[in-house]
């Protein structure tokens, strides 16, 4: 991709505005949602201005941040990359960032123009203290990628009151596929929580790990209609990253990726009631992978700044430096300058080339 600096910052900001504009269309008819996204559109434009100011000075600020706020989880999902990478564990965990630490991060993010912070884990709902802090940052949208099983009455009230907190349920497809990976009864539990949110008028989304085996099912008209009937407003298709050898057969082929890309486009054309996103997405349009601060980066539960959740390598901790300092870390700088991120062959390039990433440390 032959653009950089301010031009690239404006390109990313244009993509963000399209997402927000689409969300406003999806929210049409819901007064509270429409009002929130109208206000958020203004915030997004202001955030884009802040990013562009930094870009003119030679600093690229990504619009997105992924924050793994918890290193614990109440489930043991098969093939979980968090457990495989070692930063989600039931014991021997490093000290996690406090709610005040995360508040400081959110303040910095807002100041420099990051206005989408994806909360994950572990299980993010295990950090109620951090979510209470996040709720106060109305100019930042916090999609919460959760297994959903810990949603209770207190969380329901939070989601009703603070529309910048957006629950996104992680599923694998139908009850058989979801329970086989996440545990017996999880799918039914999630469906009950979806109903709870729907009846309360709380918007929510789903995150689907797409594999070679479930691709056709989770992108089918029938499956998408069932989600819409449940009240779902967002569908995020996330390509599986095999973390063990026996998961290699689940990886998407090139033809699978092309099929998913076209299905997401067609699904979006056919409805104004849901928003469809796919990750990694159209890397051919963005000059390759957007990790390592190019379009986003990851902070784990202990504060380590990492290229992305699937590349858990770090030489910088945000307890010792600012977000701007983390974006200028030696590892991030090497990755952006090495050309690795420009690989557009599909799949997670940093996971595929982890040996090369490790050498940069």
pLDDT attached to residue 1: 45
- Give the pLDDT band of residue 92 (cuts 50, 70, 90): low
CA distance 282 to 361: 28
| Mean pLDDT computed over 207-223 | 94
- Give the pLDDT band of residue 12 (cuts 50, 70, 90): confident
- Give the pLDDT band of residue 284 (cuts 50, 70, 90): low
For 326-353, the pLDDT digits (tens) are 999 999 999 999 888 887 566 678 877 8
* pLDDT above 70 (res 283): no
Q: Does residue 206 come out as left (phi exceeding 0), alpha (psi in the -120 to 50 range) or beta? A: beta
E strand segments, the chain: 64-68, 116-120, 142-146, 165-171, 204-210, 232-239, 275-279, 298-299, 305-306
- Give the pLDDT band of residue 285 (cuts 50, 70, 90): low
For 142-180, the pLDDT digits (tens) are 999 999 999 999 999 999 999 999 999 999 988 898 888
For 317-328, the pLDDT digits (tens) are 999 999 999 999
Show the tokens assigned to 85.
């990478």
Which residues on neighbouring strands pair with residue 51, listed in sequence order?
none
The structure tokens 């207190």 sit at: 154
CA distance 58 to 96: 32
The structure tokens 């479930």 sit at: 214
* pLDDT above 60 (res 183): yes
| Mean pLDDT computed over 213-218 | 94
């Amino acid at each position: 991709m032959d653009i950089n600096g301010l031009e690239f910052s404006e390109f990313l900001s244009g993509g963000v505005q399209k997402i927000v504009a689409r969300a406003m269309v999806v929210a049409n008819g819901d007064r509270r949602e429409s009002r929130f996204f109208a206000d958020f559109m203004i915030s997004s434009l202001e955030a884009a201005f802040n990013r562009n100011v930094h870009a003119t000075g030679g600093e690229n600020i990504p619009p997105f941040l992924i924050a793994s706020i918890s290193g614990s989880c109440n489930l043991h999902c098969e093939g979980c990359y968090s457990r495989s990478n070692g930063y989600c564990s039931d014991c021997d965990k490093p000290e996690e960032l406090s709610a005040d630490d995360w508040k400081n991060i959110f303040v910095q993010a807002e100041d420099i123009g990051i206005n989408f912070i994806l909360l994950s884990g572990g299980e993010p709902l295990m950090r109620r203290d951090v979510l209470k802090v996040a709720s106060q940052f109305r100019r930042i949208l916090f999609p919460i990628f959760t297994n959903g099983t810990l949603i209770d009455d207190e969380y329901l009230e939070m989601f009703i009151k603070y529309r910048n907190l957006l629950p996104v349920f992680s599923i694998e497809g139908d009850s058989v596929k979801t329970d086989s990976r996440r545990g017996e009864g999880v799918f039914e539990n999630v469906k009950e929580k979806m109903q709870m949110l729907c009846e309360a008028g709380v918007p929510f989304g789903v995150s689907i790990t797409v594999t070679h085996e479930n691709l056709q099912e989770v992108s089918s008209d029938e499956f998408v209609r069932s989600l819409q009937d449940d009240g779902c407003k967002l569908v995020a298709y996330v390509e599986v990253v095999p973390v063990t050898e026996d998961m290699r057969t689940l990886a998407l082929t090139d033809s699978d990726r092309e099929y998913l890309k076209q299905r997401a486009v067609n699904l979006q054309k056919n409805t104004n009631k849901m928003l469809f996103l796919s990750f990694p997405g159209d890397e051919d349009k963005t000059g390759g992978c957007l990790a390592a601060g190019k379009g986003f980066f990851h902070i784990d539960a202990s504060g380590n700044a990492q290229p992305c959740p699937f590349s858990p390598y770090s030489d910088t901790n945000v307890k010792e430096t600012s977000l701007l300092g983390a974006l200028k870390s030696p590892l991030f700088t090497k990755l952006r300058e090495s050309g690795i991120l420009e690989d557009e062959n599909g799949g997670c390039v940093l996971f595929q080339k982890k040996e090369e990433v490790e050498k940069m440390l």
